[in-house]
Structure 1
Amino acid sequence: MNKGSKLAMGIAAISLLLVGCGKATSSTSSKSSSSEALSGKVTAVGSTALQPLAAKAGANFQAKNSKVNLTVQGGGSGTGLSQVQAGAVSIGNSDIFAEEKAGIKADKLTDHKVAVVGMAPVVNKDAGIKNLKMAQVKQIFTGKITNWKEVGGKDQKIVIINRAQGSGTRATFENAVLKGATAVKSQEQDSNGAVQKIVATTPGAISYLAFSYFTNKLQAVSIDNVTPTDNNVENNKWKIWSYEHMYTKGTPDKATAAFLKYMDSKAVQNSLVKDMGYISIHDMKVTKDAKGTVTQN
């Protein structure tokens, strides 16, 4: 074999080796990329006021992270806080601060505020009520006013629909309106969704809902001529509102941490939050602490 033939064979061998190395590198890179894909199980339980937003955001997050199994359930803020404290779930959704719930060790949990929700009295449309004084709302829910004609409405018995004990929506409403007074005994419901349907179909009914549950089948009630709107919540002219909290215990795993980061992203805060009737935490002009003290930002 002459020198030219040997040189050609050598070049061919080197080329094959380089090609093989290239394939190996590509394969290794592919395997590495695959192994780094986000995976895991995330379970968020609690507030039914936060549930629609958490569920929609969760579905969008899961569409981009197909190896993450993400579940969102209701049950009320009390349930969310107790279950995350027990380590039974990844995230405890709550309308109230952990410090406000008896039996919860707030210092053992980490608070992630993901939105703000306004809440307002809602009545059956036939009641003929669009505005009430704060004192009147209190008198209705403590049983001192029992007929709509007493506050300018129809001659019709008032039917109170309350949320169950442990509801963050109830706690927020009672803190702002009743201020320590005891609510009259009444029918209780476990979720915003149930309240929405019952008030819409029950003559004389009144309850309270998160803004995100307002529909044209209900009459949202102004208080002292202040309308329940996002702008009025943002500057605290409307007093009945709370943060939507996602609490975690200890250091969250990668999937949970990634979902919490997504909840604070522009895709959620600038779009999804507003589209679904919530208020972005970044739009608030005031801050509220666990004692209810409000300060200007």
Structure 2
Amino acid sequence: MSDGSSGLSWLSSNLEATAGMVTLAVTLVGFLVAWWRKRKRISYRVHLDTPIGVTPDHNNDIAVEWSYQGRDLVDPSFALVRIMNTGSREIREEDLRVPLTLEFAGRRVVDAKVIEADQILAKLLAQEDSWPPVDVTELLLPKVPLNRKHRIKVLVLLTGKPDPAIKQAVTCDGFLSGGKIVHDTTRGDGPSNRSLVLGGTALLAVGASLALLISAPWSPRTTTCAPGTIKITGSSAFDPVAKEIVQSYRDQCDEAEISVAGQGSLDGLRELDNAGRNDAESREALIAMSDGPASRNYHNLTPHPLGVVAFAVVVNKETGKHELTADQLKAIFAGEVTDWSAVGGPDLPISIVSRGAGSGTRLAFEEKVLGRSEPALSSDDCTHRNRDPNAKVTRCEHYKTSELLDQVDRLPGAIGYAEVTATTKYTNLNRIKLDNRDPDLDSVVKRGYPFWAVEYFYTYGQPQDGGLVDSMIDYTNTDAAKNILRRAGYLPCVDGPQDLMGTLCR
């Protein structure tokens, strides 16, 4: 009896400790149960599910017919779905007893394309010659292994309207042995302009040919051509986009001669300013393209904002890194961290691959990410500090975006930065999350991702009315030019009802 009384007395006098132990035990059991249930888990997120139409709606004054590869479509739409292994174990092909199956509330599949997967997954998916099936309401995905955190994105072109009786317009089902398939509804990177960009790019990749036939009193903006010869110079990041816009213009205006030479934003602005000051004729034959606004020193230059672009910090895959904090990144570029092991990576020296001093991308990186200038040049080959053996950090420079990305792609331990869509063709790079924010336009608009800029065309003063420079600037406001911007990963400053001139593009 005394033993029982003493036990009760101990519990009474140590009530807080007892409650804490019980709470700890319950928490631990809950954690273990949650971990066990997550051992095998596939989540799917619907990034995009949108009808294809004309914006704005002109009160039924526009008759629209859609066709794709010769087939007429009724009520077409796009769906973009991300499939990801969010469990704690890898998933093998045999774990998928029933293949992952996408359903679209009764809509029928016209075509589909896997637009994002790592290199090995992409090769496995490419071996499925009979995929995708068409004219079906259920899209069975090929069985492929998924390592932890690996993901694929599937873009689907659909026809028909979703059945209003079906609650979810897009679902993913199947049977995962020893695990489950869940719908990821967390917010943060849902339907985004980046998704629209990926959609347009993928559609080109599968040979899309959507024809818009418009009849009625309304017609799209026409192009006013002008003869002459001009040069567009500046940003090397925007160089390929500018060339595509110029080619689109010249397809309609064959009397125009326009050359594009990417050399760096600041170099382009400097060339335009010098030409405008010294030669009245040459100012009407030159446009500068710049990643970000010109400094106040160039007060005679007139900005023509085109679109918002997101940049990404990139690292060689040997680093094993997918995310960094802003403080870690600043420490790397300050030379305070010189080995990847100091930030959770392997024992591997850090090599910084930067852009030259005339780069607008570098200026955006310094102003919006580092908050200071980059360290001095210390290496010619990005490996040895031959220029400054006493430098804290190994740092080299390249004057073109493609050269920087080539270097980071082949050099273990390398880190650099570039415009996001320019990085997608490189298989040995990781794009880095900054403070848990993805490097994309959706994060720029919704989550304050810091590494972005507005792309500008600059002229010396206002261009002459009716001249080729004026015509080219005017063409950038057409639907054709904005479609090129979207495909290249830019968010047009003015895009139908969306007007960023008072916010990001101001």
TM-score by length of 2: 0.47
Match of 2:291 in 1: 95
CA distance in 2, matches of 1:80, 1:52: 15
How far 1:199 sits from its partner (Å)?
A: 0.6
Match among 446, 451, 456 for residue 235 of structure 1:
446
- Given residue 268 of structure 1, which amino acid in structure 2 is its aligned partner? A
CA distance in 1, matches of 2:312, 2:301: 29
Aligned residues: 252
78-87 or 67-76, which moves further after superposition? 78-87
Match among 416, 422, 427 for residue 213 of structure 1:
422
- Given residue 476 of structure 2, which amino acid in structure 1 is its aligned partner? M
SS of the residue corresponding to residue 491 of structure 2 reads: coil
Alpha-carbon spacing, 1:236–1:252, altered in 2? closer, same or farther (3 Å): farther
Match of 1:225 in 2: 436
Match among 247, 256, 260 for residue 68 of structure 1:
256
Does the 8 A contact of 2:235 with 2:265 survive in 1?
yes
> Any idea what the Cα deviations from partners look like across 1:205-255, whole Å, max 9, x if unmatched?
000001131124221100111001121123352111111111001332411
Does the 8 A contact of 2:356 with 2:397 survive in 1?
yes
Alpha-carbon spacing, 1:182–1:272, altered in 2? closer, same or farther (3 Å): closer
Match of 1:54 in 2: 242
Higher helix share: 1
Does the 8 A contact of 1:141 with 1:183 survive in 2?
yes
Identity of aligned pairs, percent? 30
Does the 8 A contact of 2:321 with 2:432 survive in 1?
yes
How far 1:180 sits from its partner (Å)?
A: 2.3
CA distance in 2, matches of 1:171, 1:110: 20
Match of 2:458 in 1: 247
Alpha-carbon spacing, 1:192–1:58, altered in 2? closer, same or farther (3 Å): same
Does the 8 A contact of 1:211 with 1:278 survive in 2?
no
Q: Which structure is higher in RCO with an 8 Å CA cutoff and minimum separation 6?
A: 1
Higher strand share: 2
* Residue 105, structure 1, aligned to residue 305, structure 2: no
How far 1:96 sits from its partner (Å)?
A: 2.5
Structure 1 stretches of 4+ moved >4 Å: 283-288, 294-297
Q: Aligned ranges for residues 181-196 of structure 1 at < 5 Å?
A: 182-183=374-375, 185=377, 186-196=395-405
How far 1:105 sits from its partner (Å)?
A: 2.6
242-251 or 125-134, which moves further after superposition? 242-251
Does the 8 A contact of 1:142 with 1:184 survive in 2?
no
Alpha-carbon spacing, 1:285–1:121, altered in 2? closer, same or farther (3 Å): farther
Match of 1:124 in 2: 316
How far 1:268 sits from its partner (Å)?
A: 1.7
How far 1:166 sits from its partner (Å)?
A: 1.7
Alpha-carbon spacing, 1:263–1:295, altered in 2? closer, same or farther (3 Å): closer
Alpha-carbon spacing, 1:136–1:114, altered in 2? closer, same or farther (3 Å): same
* Residue 176, structure 1, aligned to residue 368, structure 2: yes
Match of 1:17 in 2: none
CA distance in 2, matches of 1:62, 1:92: 19
Alpha-carbon spacing, 1:249–1:143, altered in 2? closer, same or farther (3 Å): same
CA distance in 2, matches of 1:249, 1:285: 25
Does the 8 A contact of 2:494 with 2:501 survive in 1?
no
CA distance in 2, matches of 1:230, 1:245: 17
Give the RMSD, CA atoms, in angstroms: 2.2
Does the 8 A contact of 1:234 with 1:285 survive in 2?
no
Match of 1:139 in 2: 331
CA distance in 2, matches of 1:285, 1:126: 41
How far 1:54 sits from its partner (Å)?
A: 0.7
- Given residue 444 of structure 2, which amino acid in structure 1 is its aligned partner? V
CA distance in 2, matches of 1:278, 1:121: 17
- The gaps in structure 2 that reach 5 residues or longer are 1-223, 276-281, 378-394
CA distance in 2, matches of 1:262, 1:41: 16
- Given residue 442 of structure 2, which amino acid in structure 1 is its aligned partner? N
CA distance in 2, matches of 1:149, 1:141: 15
- The gaps in structure 1 that reach 5 residues or longer are 1-35, 289-293
Match among 174, 191, 197 for residue 406 of structure 2:
197
How far 1:285 sits from its partner (Å)?
A: 7.6
* Residue 79, structure 1, aligned to residue 290, structure 2: no
CA distance in 1, matches of 2:488, 2:504: 26
CA distance in 2, matches of 1:234, 1:129: 25
Alpha-carbon spacing, 1:285–1:126, altered in 2? closer, same or farther (3 Å): farther
Match among 344, 354, 358 for residue 152 of structure 1:
344
Alpha-carbon spacing, 1:37–1:256, altered in 2? closer, same or farther (3 Å): closer
Match of 1:273 in 2: 485
How far 1:181 sits from its partner (Å)?
A: 5.1
- Given residue 365 of structure 2, which amino acid in structure 1 is its aligned partner? F
SS of the residue corresponding to residue 86 of structure 1 reads: helix
